[in-house]
Amino acid sequence: MSDAVFYVVATPIGNLGDLTPRAVDVLQSVALIAAEDTRHSGRLMAHFNIKTPMISVHDHNERQRLQTILDKLAAGDSIALISDAGTPLISDPGFIVVRGVREAGYKVVPVPGCCAVITAMCASGLPTDRFMFEGFLPAKRSGRQQKLSEILAETRTVIYYESTHRILDSLQDMIEVLGADRYVVLARELTKTFETIHGDKVEALLEWVKQDANQQKGEFVVLIQGVEVQEEEGLSVETLKVLGILLEELPVKQAAALAAKITGEKKNALYQEALSRK
90-111 residue pLDDT tens: 999 999 999 999 999 999 999 9
pLDDT of 230 strictly over 80: no
For 56, phi then psi, to 5°, come to -85, 135
Measure the CA–CA gap between 15 and 93, rounded to whole angstroms: 22
- Per the prediction, the chain carries an average pLDDT of 94
Nearest to 13 by CA among 116, 133, 118: 116
List pLDDT tens digits, range 261-274: 888 888 888 988 88
Percent above pLDDT 90 for the chain: 81
At 150-167, the pLDDT tens digits run 998 899 999 999 999 999
Q: How confident is the model at residue 233 (pLDDT cuts 50, 70, 90)?
A: low
Could you read off the pLDDT of 129-149 as tens digits, one per residue?
Answer: 999 999 999 999 999 999 999
Cross-strand bridge partners of residue 183 = 201
pLDDT higher than 90, residue 10: yes
What is the CATH number that goes with domain 117-224? 3.30.950.10
* Two domains, one topology: 5-114 and 117-224: no
For residue 236, the model assigns a pLDDT of: 82
Does position 231 have pLDDT exceeding 70, yes or no?
no
Sheet holding 107-111, edge to edge: 54-56, 32-35, 79-82, 5-9, 107-111
SS (H, E, C) the chain: CCCCEEEEECECCCCHHHCCHHHHHHHHHCCEEEECCHHHHHHHHHHCCCCCCEEECCCCCHHHHHHHHHHHHHCCCCEEEECCCECCCCCCCCHHHHHHHHHCCCEEEEECCCCHHHHHHHCCCCCCCCEEEEEECCCCHHHHHHHHHCCCCCCCEEEEEECCCCHHHHHHHHHHHHCCCCEEEEEECCCCCCCEEEEEEHHHHHHHHHCCHHHHCCCEEEEECCCCCCCCCCCCHHHHHHHHHHHCCCCHHHHHHHHHHHHCCCHHHHHHHHHHHC
Which of the four pLDDT bands, split at 50, 70 and 90, describes residue 32?
A: very high
The residue with greater pLDDT, 240 or 90, is 90
Angle, CA 138 vertex, CA 253 and CA 164 arms, to 5°: 125
C-alpha–C-alpha distance, residues 20 and 10, integer Å: 9
Q: Give every CB contact of residue 231 below 8 A, 6+ residues apart in sequence.
A: none
Q: Are 10 and 116 in contact (CB under 8 A)?
A: no
Dist. CA 34–CA 254, nearest whole Å? 48
pLDDT in the model for residue 234: 77
When pLDDT is averaged across residues 119-124 and rounded to a whole number, the result is 98
Q: Where are the domains of the chain?
A: 5-114, 117-224, 237-277
Confidence of residue 1 (pLDDT cuts 50, 70, 90): low
**pLDDT tens digits for range 40-80:** 999 999 999 999 999 999 999 999 999 999 999 999 999 99
User: What is the CATH number that goes with domain 5-114?
Assistant: 3.40.1010.10
Smallest CA-to-CA distance from 162 within 225, 217, 83 is with: 217
**Residues above pLDDT 70, as percent of the chain:** 97
Rounded average pLDDT over 110-133: 97
